[in-house]
Amino acid sequence: MEQTIILRCPNCGVKNRVPLSRINSSPRCGRCKTPLHTGTGEPIIVTDANFDDLIRSSRPILVDCWAPWCGPCRVIAPVIEELAREFGNRAVIGKLNVDENPSTAQRFQIRSIPTLLFFKNGELVDSIVGAVAAQEIREKLNSLL
């Protein structure tokens, strides 16, 4: 079954279920037909099940690989949320809990967390290991736009 995200219509407020494969096709509200803002303003929850659909996006993608017990992950979490709001519809920002999604973590050989993975056109193009300043992450994302 294809993974979906819920997007709230900016016009009428209705929640719309949008398949990740359609996130780049200018989805519209099912009720009022207003274009939906696909930059959700908060990180998308990435799982082993939806990872491949997510990275097919034509927009740059940042995946924060983290775990709830990791101190540096908790330090960088507000930065990731800030970047999700800032980049809105220009980039996809996601969070992958490595404890709950070991297949993807193993696939990308995540040995230390937080690890930030940067994708463009479905390909891994860069990564950062460790908690870094927001400006460094912002610059990497801007370079992919």
The residues annotated as belonging to the active site are 70, 73
**H-helix segments, 24-133:** 51-55, 71-87, 102-107
Q: Is there a contact between 117 and 127 (Cβ–Cβ < 8 Å)?
A: yes
DSSP letter (8 states) at residue 42: S
Burial, 54: exposed, middle or buried (Cβ in 10 Å; 0-12, 13-18, 19+)? Answer: buried
- Give the Cα separation of 75 and 82 in Å (integer): 12
- Give the Cα separation of 110 and 34 in Å (integer): 40
